[in-house]
Amino acid sequence: MTRKALLGVLAGEALATPPIWLMRQAGRYLAEYKAVRTQAGSFLDLCYAPDLAVEVSLQPIRRFGFDAAILFSDILVIPHALGMQLEYREGEGPVLSTVRSREDIAALRPEGLEDRLAPVYDAVRGLAAALPKTCTLIGFAGAPWTVAAYMVEGKGGTDHANLIRWAWRDPQTFGELMGLLVDVTARHLIAQARAGAEVVQLFDSWAGAAPEGLFHRLCIEPVAEIVRRVRAAVPGLPIIGFPRGGGAQLRRFATETGVSAIGIDQGTPLAWVRRQVPAQTALQGNLDPILLAEGGPPLDEEVDRILGTMRGAPHVFNLGHGIRQDTPPDHVAQLVQRVRTRAR
Ligand code: CP3
């Protein structure tokens, strides 16, 4: 049997037709997702109901035939499992209790985390059993810096001033929070791999908010340590890093973390990154999610340009960030069709 397309590319192979999946491919742009979400009650209930989480993970696979399914969950189940309050408010996004002091860190409960996240691993097992055999199962977690951003700020959409001031002011205490997150994140990924995830991705959505003087300590070292721990437990596991907005830091990120692939946002030129990182490091991305929502001939032209740029190199077709809620599903079908017919 030949290797699944995504696994080949993550091992450094350049394929004539790149595998394709989309970040946040299960979600509110699909009517069938909204129906299951309503049935579940709340978004968090959906995350902790293995059968329903399996169902919504499979919806985009059935509709579009993607090369990979990503576990349906959220990066914020980690703070939730650590004992923080978490609520998703309509139109506002996640709202959490905050961690801003040594006492707040001491109140977090890392022990027994895998027991509280057992429904997530059940969903991974269910998905592994249900997937078509050419489809790769991706598990994930947030990178420590991005998860810390939500834990310290208590919500998204801020300028991260509380977070960044703490990181500058008191590297020692902030480092304790990051160390705790490195530990639980590595454990969470190892548990997903043992339940059947074939690849894991670390989402560092706010890497671009880290100032130059903190980037190495906050966005490279923690990810490097997680990669070491996960690979020590699960040798050879392919790992995708997504330090969104990491631009000029990507060369160091690639060489020092040892990830198999890097997710590239839509603002960063693929051809330039290609020259920065080792040849066997795969690149994932970087179609503009707004263009996918827009559709039409400019979408086809941009797909062709991206394919041309990455010809002959290990490439996973994806967006530069998660799919938008206002994306017509027909545009996703158009994208998949274009990638599969136009590639080389
Ligand atoms: O990719 C997938 O389909 C798998 C599931 C997945 C979700 N969130 C489901 C979700 C993944 C991989 C994530 C990652 C995630 N979650 C990130 C990193 C990627 C990124 O977008 O930067 C972040 C920052 C979060 C935190 C989070 N979760 C936010 C900021 C929000 C609100 C934004 C929104 O779209 O409402 C969520 C909620 C969330 N996570 C939804 C989904 C499908 C929408 C919840 C709903 O159904 O109302």
3-class SS string, the chain: CCCCHHHHHHCCCCCCCCCECCCCCCCCCCHHHHHHHHHHCCHHHHHCCHHHHHHHHHHHHHHHCCCEEECCCCCCHHHHHCCCCEEEECCCEEEECCCCCHHHHHCCCCCCHHHHCHHHHHHHHHHHHHCCCCCEEEEEEECHHHHHHHHHHCECCCCCHHHHHHHHHCHHHHHHHHHHHHHHHHHHHHHHHHHCCCEEEEEECCHHHCCHHHHHHHHHHHHHHHHHHHHHHCCCCCEEEEECCCHHHHHHHHHHHCCCEEEECCCCCHHHHHHHCCCCCEEEEEECHHHHHHCCHHHHHHHHHHHHHHCCCCEEEEECCCCCCCCCHHHHHHHHHHHHHHCC
Domain that includes residue 33, residue range: 5-342
For 319, phi then psi, to 5°, come to -85, 170
Q: How far is the CA of 170 from the centre of ligand 1 (A)?
A: 30
Q: What is the mean pLDDT of the chain?
A: 97
Q: Which pLDDT tens digit goes with each residue over 18-35?
A: 999 999 999 999 999 999
Domain count, the chain: 1
244 contacts: CB under 8 Å, gap ≥ 6: 203, 204, 205, 206, 207, 208, 263, 265, 321
Q: Which atom of ligand 1 is nearest to the CA of 88?
A: 38
Q: Is the pLDDT of residue 303 over 80?
A: yes
Q: How far is the CA of 275 from the centre of ligand 1 (A)?
A: 31
Residue 343 confidence (pLDDT): 59
- Return the CATH number at 196: 3.20.20.210
Mean pLDDT over 168-173 rounds to 98
Residue 2 confidence (pLDDT): 76
Query: In which band, very low, low, confident or very high, does the pLDDT at 307 lie, cut at 50, 70 and 90?
Result: very high
Ligand 1: list residues with CB < 6 Å.
Answer: 23-28, 37, 43, 70, 72-76, 88, 93-94, 140, 156, 203, 205, 322
Q: What is the rounded CA–CA span in Å between residue 243 and residue 227?
A: 14
Residue 91 confidence (pLDDT): 87
Q: How far is the CA of 38 from the centre of ligand 1 (A)?
A: 16
Q: Which pLDDT tens digit goes with each residue over 209-220?
A: 999 999 999 999
Q: Which pLDDT tens digit goes with each residue over 225-272?
A: 999 999 999 999 999 999 999 999 999 999 999 999 999 999 999 999
Mean pLDDT over 51-78 rounds to 98
Mean pLDDT over 199-218 rounds to 98
Q: Which atom of ligand 1 is nearest to the CA of 322?
A: 21
Q: Which atom of ligand 1 is nearest to the CA of 26?
A: 3
Whether the model clears a pTM of 0.85, i.e. scores above it, the answer is yes
**Burial profile 318-330: b = 16 or more Cβ within 10 angstroms, e = fewer:** bbbbbbeeebeee
Whether 97 contacts 199, CB under 8 Å: no
Residue 222 confidence (pLDDT): 98
Query: In which band, very low, low, confident or very high, does the pLDDT at 342 lie, cut at 50, 70 and 90?
Result: confident
Residue positions annotated with a catalytic role: 24, 28, 37, 74, 150
